[in-house]
Amino acid sequence: MARSNMATTEQATAPRGAGTERIPFLDLITPHRQLEPELTAAFRRAVRAGAFIGGGEVEAFEAEFAAFCGTPHCVGVSSGTDALRLALHALDLRPGDEVITVPNTFIATTEAISQAGGTVRFVDVDEATLTMNPQALGAAISPRVVGILPVHLYGQPADMDPILEVARQHGLWVLEDACQAHGARYRDRSVGGIGTMGAFSFYPGKNLGALGDAGAVTAREAGHAARVRRLREHGQARKYYHDEEGYTARLDAIQAAFLRVKLRHLDDWTERRRRVARWYDAALADIPEVHRPTKVSYAKHVYHLYVVRVPNRDGLRRHLEKAQIGVGLHYPLPLHLQQAYAQHGYRAGAFPVTERSANMGLSLPMFPELTEAQVARVADAIRAFYR
Ligand SMILES: *Cc1c(COP(=O)(O)O)cnc(C)c1O
């Protein structure tokens, strides 16, 4: 009560703009303004080439992104969701097949499984990393399980070696959901190049974002890549000869041209995100209520999101919004408790680590252009709330 009165008084008396400039959760304006000359040149090149679906820009981007991920094959598609769905088809998912994944992810992960004809089987995540808990896999294995779909959530790679070991023992494939983790590394490998296949999203807010919807599939085997290439274009390898039914799920040439420009900046942006994370880590270290993202020795985290876990999360969220600081929830309701999955009959308590993280997680502003002073202001606002 006193706190909210104080905030109101402050807002009424503080001179406009003095130290109260809004810190956005994400800034999509600044980087694009900086890149405008490069982006417009790429746009002009694509327009003049007159190839709008497929063609040289798409092929060049695929080669460049495959090299970036250290994978032999990359196929550009229309979104991250389509990347997951086409990869699952290419892995020959059949009705009744079960795929193991986690309930603390964006719904695209499980939509892709269901829409490719499979059945979702959840396992809980690890308390420290919030990625798939490999210890939980044993109990979820059944004769119907054909594959494992770990999610490199927030930019933190899942613990892949034990996951790959379980997959090897049971003859399963592994599809990595790398939609939030472009350039993240697990030991000496880049995500998307560790499992059988990988799926990336280039939704504008992702670490590598198009100027619209786009995605990519990575693959180790030429056969899987060829199948995705065919599926993205109505099941045809040769025009009007359809080996199977497919989709309209191609990457636009203009988006590929934009992505080629932005890919050249990705390592720099990633290093800046990691620097922002180090500023947060230091600035929040003296606030005992704040549980910071875990750093693990095997991984290079690329901080798509910087998510803290805190008591009275909703109170802090309102406090930060009032202080002109943009925050987000990723995600407020775990997938197993969503209305869309009510038919599975899961109850609260089924996946306690995921549920705790949904209740306590708060995503702080995170983007490469964030300054140390802005990070300090966020930390000060959090400190003031818990005092
Ligand atoms: C963004 C995202 C997707 C889906 O990507 P779209 O390009 O939006 O279809 C899938 N999985 C995760 C974890 C994501 O964050």
Task: Give the ranges where the chain is alpha helix by DSSP (H).
Answer: 2-13, 30-34, 36-49, 56-69, 80-90, 108-115, 137-140, 160-170, 222-231, 253-284, 313-322, 352-360, 372-386
| Size of the chain, expressed as the number of residues it contains | 387
Q: Which fold has domain 265-386?
A: Aspartate Aminotransferase, domain 1 (3.90.1150)
**Parallel, antiparallel, or unpaired for β 73-77 and 215-219?**
antiparallel
Q: Is there a cis peptide before residue 331, judged by omega within 30 degrees of 0? A: yes
The rounded Å distance from CA 312 to ligand 1 centre is: 28
Q: What is the pLDDT of residues 306-365, one digit of tens each?
A: 999 999 999 999 999 999 999 999 999 999 999 999 999 999 999 999 999 999 999 999
**Residue 20: per-residue pLDDT:** 80
Are residues 219 and 197 in contact, defined by beta-carbon separation less than 8 angstroms?
Answer: yes
Residue nearest atom 7 of ligand 1, based on CA coordinates: 80
Query: Can you give the residue ranges of every domain in the chain?
Result: 34-263, 265-386
pLDDT at 18 over 70: no
pLDDT at 25 over 70: yes
Q: Classify 97 in phi/psi space as left (phi over 0), alpha (psi -120 to 50) or beta.
A: beta
Identify the band that residue 263 occupies on the pLDDT scale cut at 50, 70 and 90: very high
Mutate to test the pocket of ligand 1, among 180, 182, 211 (most ligand atoms within 8 A of CB): 180
Q: Which atom of ligand 1 is nearest to the CA of 151?
A: 13
**Residue 338: per-residue pLDDT:** 98
Q: Which fold has domain 34-263?
A: Aspartate Aminotransferase; domain 2 (3.40.640)
User: How far is 2 from 244, CA to CA, in rounded Å?
Assistant: 66
Residue nearest atom 10 of ligand 1, based on CA coordinates: 108
- Per the confidence metrics, is the pTM higher than 0.75? yes
Does residue 110 have its Cβ closer than 6 Å to ligand 1? no
Does residue 104 have its Cβ closer than 6 Å to ligand 1? no
Amino acid letter, residue 291 = H
Does residue 79 have its Cβ closer than 6 Å to ligand 1? yes
The rounded Å distance from CA 337 to ligand 1 centre is: 19
